[in-house]
Structure 1
């Protein structure tokens, strides 16, 4: 409701824009009386392009109708009676309008709420400028107001010119009539002819003198008007450059970084409102120039007016052409790692489609996939003979106009790349380094086929794979391109080397996105990564800031002594964390980026049983537990032990929390947190009792050397640090092969009840003396 309260305080043009959001499709009274309820719903959780979300949208529609009906029922009194009728009518109206298309209701309300938030924010920024962004927006809005005023002035001047010219033509016709009268005087008697001739000639002289003066005045009016149009066009061009070459480019850059996990790009509705204002002003000025041309043709006067208007017409056509072609954008990018034979989606949008009435002749959009070389040729306006580098199924779509939001867009929901044609690769380049792009093209008619534009737009670079095993390397190519591509580049050129801090920023962005957490990579993590990437632990951390890393070091050359690259190791960590360990990372339970020596140094100063979790150096997507304990082979000596790394396969069997719970010798998470305090909320609840005579088995993890409080050294297995054996799995010995032994000294679960016995050893001894044959006979009976 906070937004609605502020929206009601808008003034001037902002208030008019807010009011224009409402109408028969969604009455403003509904917004007012259900403000709190409307702002409390999760409208953004509904994906408009996903047909499966239609049921969710239907529930929202039904709830809205119920809220309206409930609000109507609570109205009392004379005024309440009228409101009750009105709200009931609105409930029925919304039900009938959106019952068959509930997603359109969600689209409408999302547009209204986002627009209100934008208008309120712009109003607040205008009153209290904070930062360069709000100042830029304020500058753009101020320029629009100046353009609106100047356009209105030229409209007034044009009407005045038209009025004066029409009066001039009337007087010109009067002059012709006087001449005709003079010519007809020959038939009039001489005495009368002389008198009338003198009068007519005097009148003609007066009219001709006026016509001469007025012709000069009209010419001056025309030149002044052309000069004002020229000034307006210059201002329009400057405003358009600011919006298209800066604001729209920044939006596209944010969209690209979103592919690396950056903030989801926003502000497209603001851009559309600006582009629509541009389109409106440009079209008004174009119509004015055409009317001025018509007036010039209607009454030709000597001078340069015709050439000036031709130039103005050409200039404004160029401006509107640039606007239409630049605002054909990809709202939802296709996946940048694209697997063949897999369904994918994309959405394209024309930001000025509604304002220019392009939807009156709904255009069709076609999608084709092209190579890097073909993309370069397209930007140079070189012919590619309409070649493509593959075949996309379901690649044609008609643009739809959504009246509630004023957007013209095409939603490709079921595209699939059937095949791909690759080019010859260079040097060490692999298939996962080859870049393609999905090109969307269409043809728009503006002004009733008065202007026709053929438009194309290219998606972000796409890497095509045929198997999931290629995803890792393809993601590296995409990440490098998204992070380091420069605006206006030749497709798809990226630097071969970047500064290490730049790469750190990209890795941190990606990591936080995968973890869905604000906890990213700290300075210590980045130092660890630098040491791994540059294979050196001796460099001063400050020196890494000036070091550069090449693409080859990032994901072409294996790390020393390993069979994987730096990126493959880092991506393996993210994959493991994303699938199994995200909560523990967000809880701060996993240090992760710690090498073996650092772990030893950290743990040796802590009590026995202290442990930490670090990522494996030797295995992709592995995490190990390091802990400090006594050396079972040498009394009084303490060692740091490292468990064999766990991988995704291990955690699909038993979770990390349960594994830590199983190991009783792990007591404190570094530095000093009791393990149950950190992990108990993730423990699997105890298994239920036997059902239908069956007892469920339970998997438990054990480390042989630490299965007893004082483990005896094993002569057959090494027990020093990394040579600790991998955790084995112990299963319960009871699998319901025999029924449980009925014994008064054991509890219901078959465990010894130590409280009821004075001597456990004596009890075991008694059990061992029981005749096995008798037990068997008893069970058989």
Structure 2
């Protein structure tokens, strides 16, 4: 409701734009009287390209009709009678409901477009009247574009007016010319008259002919000047049109494509396409009007040839305006929704292409078909250099043909590829150390259509962002690195798909921070200390000063080709492992500020030794991809030490969450620097298990660190099954623990561990839970018999 209240306050052009959103497809009265209901629905939760969402869209359509009928019934009195009739008609209008009944997602598309457009108009109006503050660069640029459109509109109206005057003048000239021919014919017919009468008539006709010929001579000069003046006006208009088109296509559209590319790295979602379409449609409309005017000028010139350079001038104007509209049409054939940049064979994927000027040029009257093929980097280069007009393929895409559809509610002409699948790929010979996950392809979309009654035929093509093709999930990590580097550092207008081999470290920091924040869905990204830690890892440096890294460059090889010193993985593989772990299991804790993460062993020790016993922190493992360890300070018989637990990975957290593991370890008291652990993690603890049902006691998984278990022993009588990092000395009977005792290498007071063979906890827990415990235990649930010790791993 709030958005509609604001929308009603719009003035001038913004109000006209808002009103233009509505029509027979969605009446403005429906928006007004159902404003609260419309704005309370979760329209953005529905995926327009997913046929499975049609059931939800159908329910929304039914709810909308029901709300309309209720609203109609509530209207009363003399003033409400007509409104009651009108709302009832909207609810039962077969022409409208049948359209949405066939495709209920069209209703969602329509309302989403309306709400987004209203929000944009309100925001622009708010920015324009924001306390008289100076307009930002974006608003200034948009104002410049709108002013140029106003100038073009006025100049096009002027040339239209001048053209009509020229046409009227020329028509009158032709009439007078025909009068002159009639006089000449009369003079020729005087020879049959008597001499006296002939002399009198001839004198009169000669005088009349002289007057008409003098007028024709003067008017011919005037007409020629009028034509030349009109051509100059068209030249000026075309110059402004070309400048405006360059601003929109070479700056605004390129920036939109750049934002779309950065969105692949987690940048803000690329908005503003509807604004771009409105500009491109205005361009198309103005270009077409001027083209029609120039053609009418050509027709007038052919109808009445006069001496002078008009034919050459008009021919050049016609060629120029055709080039302008060709550039507009071919440049506005874009990919609205990119195919996935890491593309796995045999997996279904989707994409959407859109022609921004399709509706304005009535292309949908004969809907064109779009074809998608996958091409290599070399083939893409040849296509852009016009060295190849034949679209050779480097693979086979199933379901790669789609007809463009016109959506009247949004005025968009687009083709939605919903079920494409890459059946096979043909790879090229790789160079040097390049791997298959560094080889780039692109999906080429192409179509052909005509406008103006086949007057102009366009063959349009557009290339997707670079795509890395994989055949196995294990390649995803390295393929993502290639995509991230390309998206972050590609230059506009580059030769496909050239990227720098080295970049400044701060540039890479921006890309990593963007990726990290996007995966965490939070504004909390990488701090300067985090980035210093990453720089130390990338450059094997010990400096803590961020200034030392600002001028340093990092190469692609350092990023994801060469392993880190003493490790068997690259910098990116380590970082991506952290991102995956956080995204799947630890996102809430990162957003709560509970995880320091990017801290090395020495830093952890320095931080903890000054804190009370039981203070702990969470840091990412240096030795394992996607691992996180708990470091804590505790009293040793001889001195205080900082201990590090064997790193947890995704597999561990799929068994028991981080919060529950921290709850299990009673010797962990305070999260660094001094927050009680329950204050931070209690809201994430798993609720206690329910009581026994039908005589069965449900086992409980817990973890124990034996060296510290006796510090805060479990309450007596607890019926639990323990999942140990190591066995617990708190159980005196050797058969009272699930797993055998293990050596103290599980705990390292100095830091991380490099263990090749660790206990497969998940498998042992599964074995434990599969045992027929009812046959082994006594009838008393609190007195389980000793469990047999499983074989050591």
Instruction: Please give the TM-score of this superposition, normalised by the length of structure 2.
Output: 0.91
Q: 1:195 & 1:656 partners in 2: Cα distance?
A: 120
Where structure 1 has 5 or more consecutive residues not aligned to the other structure, the ranges are: 743-747, 752-766, 769-781
Does the Cα contact within 8 Å between 1:530 and 1:544 map onto a contact in 2?
A: yes
User: Which stretch of structure 1 is more off in the superposition, 94-103 or 285-294?
Assistant: 94-103
Q: CA RMSD in A?
A: 2.2
Shift of 1:709: 1.6
Task: Tell me which residue corresponds to 2:32.
Answer: 32
Shift of 1:69: 1.9
* Cα distance, 1:595–1:692 mapped onto 2, change above 3 Å: same
Task: Tell me which residue corresponds to 2:122.
Answer: 120
Shift of 1:6: 3.3
Does the Cα contact within 8 Å between 2:405 and 2:415 map onto a contact in 1?
A: yes
Q: 2:163 & 2:129 partners in 1: Cα distance?
A: 36
Shift of 1:736: 3.6
Q: 1:272 & 1:723 partners in 2: Cα distance?
A: 58
The answer to whether the aligner puts 1:476 opposite 2:481 as a matched pair is: yes
Shift of 1:200: 0.4
Please, which of 152, 156, 181 is the counterpart of residue 147 of structure 1? 152
* Cα distance, 1:88–1:385 mapped onto 2, change above 3 Å: closer
Task: Tell me which residue corresponds to 1:80.
Answer: 80
Task: Tell me which residue corresponds to 1:62.
Answer: 62
The answer to whether the aligner puts 1:453 opposite 2:458 as a matched pair is: yes
Shift of 1:682: 1.1
Q: 2:36 & 2:419 partners in 1: Cα distance?
A: 37
Q: 2:2 & 2:135 partners in 1: Cα distance?
A: 21
Q: 2:421 & 2:752 partners in 1: Cα distance?
A: 50
Does the Cα contact within 8 Å between 1:639 and 1:720 map onto a contact in 2?
A: no
Task: Tell me which residue corresponds to 1:677.
Answer: 679
Shift of 1:34: 1.5
Task: Tell me which residue corresponds to 1:370.
Answer: 375
Superposition map of 1:249-268 within 5 A: 249-268=254-273
Q: 1:59 & 1:130 partners in 2: Cα distance?
A: 44
Where structure 2 has 5 or more consecutive residues not aligned to the other structure, the ranges are: 713-727, 731-740, 787-793
Instruction: Please give the TM-score of this superposition, normalised by the length of structure 1.
Output: 0.92
Please, which of 433, 438, 460 is the counterpart of residue 428 of structure 1? 433
* Cα distance, 1:715–1:455 mapped onto 2, change above 3 Å: closer
* Cα distance, 1:220–1:716 mapped onto 2, change above 3 Å: closer
Task: Tell me the alpha carbon deviations over residues 147-177 of structure 1, each in whole angstroms, 9 at most, x when there is no partner.
Answer: 0000000000000000000000000000000
User: Which stretch of structure 1 is more off in the superposition, 730-739 or 535-544?
Assistant: 730-739
Task: Tell me the alpha carbon deviations over residues 96-142 of structure 1, each in whole angstroms, 9 at most, x when there is no partner.
Answer: 44223211111111122222233334444455563000010011001
Shift of 1:542: 1.1
* Cα distance, 1:621–1:307 mapped onto 2, change above 3 Å: same
* Cα distance, 1:452–1:344 mapped onto 2, change above 3 Å: same
Give the secondary structure class of the aligned counterpart of 1:297.
helix
Shift of 1:56: 1.6
Q: 2:379 & 2:729 partners in 1: Cα distance?
A: 70
Task: Tell me the alpha carbon deviations over residues 40-84 of structure 1, each in whole angstroms, 9 at most, x when there is no partner.
Answer: 222122111111111221222122122222222222211122212
Shift of 1:308: 0.3
Task: Tell me which residue corresponds to 2:749.
Answer: 721
Task: Tell me the alpha carbon deviations over residues 198-234 of structure 1, each in whole angstroms, 9 at most, x when there is no partner.
Answer: 0000000000000001100100110000000000000
User: Which stretch of structure 1 is more off in the superposition, 310-319 or 671-680?
Assistant: 671-680
* Cα distance, 1:696–1:144 mapped onto 2, change above 3 Å: same
Give the secondary structure class of the aligned counterpart of 1:427.
coil
Q: 1:717 & 1:276 partners in 2: Cα distance?
A: 73
Task: Tell me which residue corresponds to 1:629.
Answer: 634
Task: Tell me which residue corresponds to 1:761.
Answer: none
Does the Cα contact within 8 Å between 2:446 and 2:459 map onto a contact in 1?
A: yes
Superposition map of 1:295-314 within 5 A: 295-314=300-319
Superposition map of 1:700-711 within 5 A: 700-709=702-711
Task: Tell me which residue corresponds to 1:617.
Answer: 622
Superposition map of 1:739-754 within 5 A: none
Give the secondary structure class of the aligned counterpart of 2:673.
coil
Does the Cα contact within 8 Å between 1:374 and 1:384 map onto a contact in 2?
A: no
Give the secondary structure class of the aligned counterpart of 2:703.
strand
Please, which of 546, 565, 568 is the counterpart of residue 570 of structure 2? 565
Q: 2:104 & 2:82 partners in 1: Cα distance?
A: 28
Task: Tell me the alpha carbon deviations over residues 332-370 of structure 1, each in whole angstroms, 9 at most, x when there is no partner.
Answer: 000000001111100000000000011111111111111
Shift of 1:749: 5.4
